[in-house]
Amino acid sequence: MPPQLGIFGGTFDPPHVGHVTAAIRARDQLAADILHVVVAHDPWQKSGRRSVTPSHHRLAMARLAFDGLSGIEVSNAELERDGPSYMIDTVMELERPGTETVLVMGPATAAGLSTWHRADELAQRVTIAVIQPTGVPRVRLGGWRATAVFMAPVAASATWVRELLEGSGGPETAAALDRLVPRAVMGYIADHKLYSA
């Protein structure tokens, strides 16, 4: 088996414990030489539907969330390019000869792969590693090389975190955020007044 290079892309708006847990499980199960956490500069499939936090903030939060995790590096590759963030461009930039490139993603993202920019070309270049929480039906990916990264379910989503942050607060909200968001990330959010109503 060739050495593996992992790419875990996303909006990370904000990064939460589910992202961190998934990255660690992917790194360990895939035995990837390196797992790049790639923050999307302009997530074109989301930016038209909702307001997205500026990419420099999301990159800074991701660096705090994944700080100190060996074999995991936060990449600013997509922030260095203008225009929409397309994974095919990121793959072509990060891939290395003799290395298998593996894209790590959740089941919902994997289900929409056919809508991605230059999807047919991407399918020829990568293997898809689907984060597979226990009890969640597996996504069938026809036309893609695919594997699964198994993990216990983590009750966290960026949408839920944003809703909590945009709410009125209170002890229960603070306790939930303490479980969902790394402390350094919460400090950054407070310092920069992100997600406040």
Q: How many CA atoms lie within 13 A of 112 on its CB side?
A: 9
Tell whether 106 is covered by a domain.
yes
Q: What φ, ψ does residue 85 adopt, rounded to 5°? A: -90, 110
pLDDT band per the 50, 70, 90 thresholds, residue 171: confident
The total of structural domains in the chain comes to 1
Tell whether 109 is covered by a domain.
yes
Q: What is the pLDDT of residues 99-110, one digit of tens each?
A: 999 999 999 999
Average pLDDT, the chain: 93
Tell whether 168 is covered by a domain.
no
Tell whether 53 is covered by a domain.
yes
CATH code, domain with 51: 3.40.50.620
pLDDT band per the 50, 70, 90 thresholds, residue 24: very high
- Is the pLDDT reported for residue 197 higher than 60? no
- Is the pLDDT reported for residue 125 higher than 90? yes
Q: How many CA atoms lie within 13 A of 53 on its CB side?
A: 23
- Is the pLDDT reported for residue 56 higher than 70? yes
Q: What is the pLDDT of residues 78-87, one digit of tens each?
A: 999 988 899 9
Find the domain containing 84 and state its range: 4-154
Tell whether 196 is covered by a domain.
no
Please count the other Cβ atoms lying within 10 Å of the Cβ belonging to residue 139: 20
pLDDT at 26: 97
Tell whether 112 is covered by a domain.
yes
Tell whether 192 is covered by a domain.
no
Q: What is the pLDDT of residues 135-170, one digit of tens each?
A: 888 888 999 999 999 999 998 999 999 999 988 677
Tell whether 174 is covered by a domain.
no
